A and B are shown apart, each in its own frame.
Chain A
Amino acid sequence: MTLQLTPYEQSLLAGDQGRAAQKALQILVALGTIYNAERLLPVASVQIAGVSYDNLGEAGLQWLSEMADGGGQAQTLATLNPAGMDIQNWPALGISPAFAANQQRVIDAFTRMGVVAACTCTPYLIGNLPRYGEHIAWAESSAVCYANSVIGARTNREGGPSALAAALTARTPAYGLHLEPNRRPSVTIVIEPSLGSALDFTALGKAIGQKLESAAPGLIPYLRGGLDPAEAGAASPASLEALKSFCASVATYAGLPLFHWEGLTPEAALYAPPADVLRVTADDLRLARAALSDARPDEIDFVSLGCPHLSIQEIARAAQLLRGKRVRKEFWLTTARPTKHIADQMGYTAIIEASGAKFAVDTCCVVAPIQGRFAALATDSAKACYYASSKNKFKTLLLTFDEVIQLAQETP
């Protein structure tokens, strides 16, 4: 089966719309060829990864500049992953001027192409919100998992160049998770303990990673249980914040771009639970949590909340806990700029900054160039633990949101 292109797509490939669009379509055709796609699909939303200069390097920046110089223009809504720094307030975070200049060149290249330079891993919180069943092309593993699973939109896990190619053409090849048969669950995972805090959800992602480690890659799990409210009439523990943390964790540790969860996610009702069953016990959850902590509280010299980026509710909670308090460690709250604007207006920013904690907007502790600056990170995010350990060689301590804020106030 060969890839069929529409006249519009053929004209892009012929270079009628410029070099950048031509290159973009070549990328999509190559991917479509490798994955035996029969056609390209229109996409209404794109999320582009490969924004931090720390990850892109000079080669990545040169390629982005070449695409911008080649007349590349976004043909659909496209937003960006976190950058390597707060674009406005980088000096307060200890970012070097040389890094800042290069990071700004990256942002400028995207801006020239009409990509919305809101740099966040939670585009669904700031206006890039696809609908159920919609075909989209997203990078950023946690957002891919959230969009596919919680929203029911359809995306593969794109890389930086393929996501940009989708933005410049509003197309993506029809393969993988765009096609219904590939979204069917293949294994049931029963969650035995009732999940309480968001910390349970982030630990669950790690526990599922361990369960699926020896399983064949590409399994889509169907989750059951875990969601009973603490008491009758109480809200479900599966809050937006718990789910964004779970998606980040399960994408990091199990590589999952999609899960179904009975009674929770919109596509779960389309399927019967698969016959193969795995179980996550209370012990599994405890072990997963313990595996993410190798630092003692007194070793912690860096504290960060906001992986994935903080919601306005989380910022409100942080302000409540930090009012009139003093922070005694380097403490970053990472979020998207539109969310920070709301926090400014609500007075949360003033309370938080008066405590000595810092907002790190547009960026996060995963993509900022902080290797060598700290010894041990305390966080509420299993994903942040993974990258702190593997990329930055920090020790880690996984705590609840409230415990992290408490620890930040203790004398080092």
Chain B
Amino acid sequence: MNPPAPSLEWHGRVIAPGCAEAETLFTTQRISFFGGVDPETGVIVERGHELYGQSLAGKILIFPTGKGSTVGSYTLYRLKYSGKAPAAILNLECEPITAVGCIIAAIPCLDHLPIADLASHPRLRVDGARVETQYFASPHHIG
């Protein structure tokens, strides 16, 4: 009998530490949290954005980098309070608005990741610096 295929695994740079396991939501476009995301519902409301109308609540949100006003850090905090924050954020290159927002809201955040590769997986687990698929449990999590 063949051994089970190993789960895929990537290592990023830790911006805000934490663990999460959830469905993924991916965009190739930058995200502005202030003005671009409804802080009460988690729905992306920036006109013309490819995720317009979708909710980031509870998702592992994958996007290249943030943009917009520094007040966006507080939007992430408010999303957390509303129970509508993303479960984790994965970036190509994190910037200060997202980084500060993730820390004050305790949202796990990693960057320096191949986000297009991650995006093909419907569900991921984030644990510290590691991102992994969940087809099979990684040996680190047995027992």
Interface centre among A55, A56, A62 (most CB of B within 10 A): A62
Query: Is A34's CB under 8 angstroms from B95's CB?
Result: yes
Of the 9-residue stretches B47-55, B97-105, B113-121, B132-140, which lies at the interface with chain A? Answer: B97-105
Choose among B39, B74, B104 the residue that contacts A23 (Cβ–Cβ < 8 A).
Answer: B104
Identify whether the interface residues of A are mostly helix, strand, loop, or mixed.
helix
Query: Is B16's CB under 8 angstroms from A159's CB?
Result: no
Question: Given the complex, which residues of A lie within 8 Å of B16, measured CB to CB?
Answer: 26, 30
7 more CB-based (< 8 A) A-B contacts, given A59-B78, A63-B77, A159-B100: A30-B102, A31-B99, A58-B78, A59-B77, A60-B77, A160-B73, A162-B96
Question: Given the complex, which residues of A lie within 8 Å of B10, measured CB to CB?
Answer: none
Choose among B13, B15, B75, B103 the residue that contacts A59 (Cβ–Cβ < 8 A).
Answer: B75
Q: Does B94 contact A (CB under 8 A)?
A: yes
Identify whether the interface residues of B are mostly helix, strand, loop, or mixed.
helix
In the bound assembly, the distance between CA atoms of A165 and B104 in angstroms comes to: 11
In the bound assembly, the distance between CA atoms of A160 and B34 in angstroms comes to: 14
Q: Shortest beta-carbon distance, B22 to chain A, in Å?
A: 22
Interface residues on A, range: 20 to 34
Minimal Cβ-Cβ distance residue in A for B75: A59
Mark each residue of chain A from 8 to 30: 1 if its CB lies under 8 Å from any CB of chain B, else 0. 00000000000000010011001
Decide yes or no: A30 and B15 within 8 Å by CB, A59-B77, A160-B70, A161-B73 being known contacts. yes
A-B contact pairs, 24 of them (CB 8 A): A23-B103, A30-B15, A30-B99, A30-B100, A31-B96, A31-B99, A33-B13, A33-B14, A34-B94, A34-B95, A34-B99, A56-B74, A57-B71, A58-B78, A59-B39, A59-B77, A60-B74, A60-B77, A62-B78, A159-B97, A159-B100, A161-B104, A162-B96, A162-B100
Q: Shortest beta-carbon distance, A373 to chain B, in Å?
A: 22
Q: Shortest beta-carbon distance, B59 to chain A, in Å?
A: 20
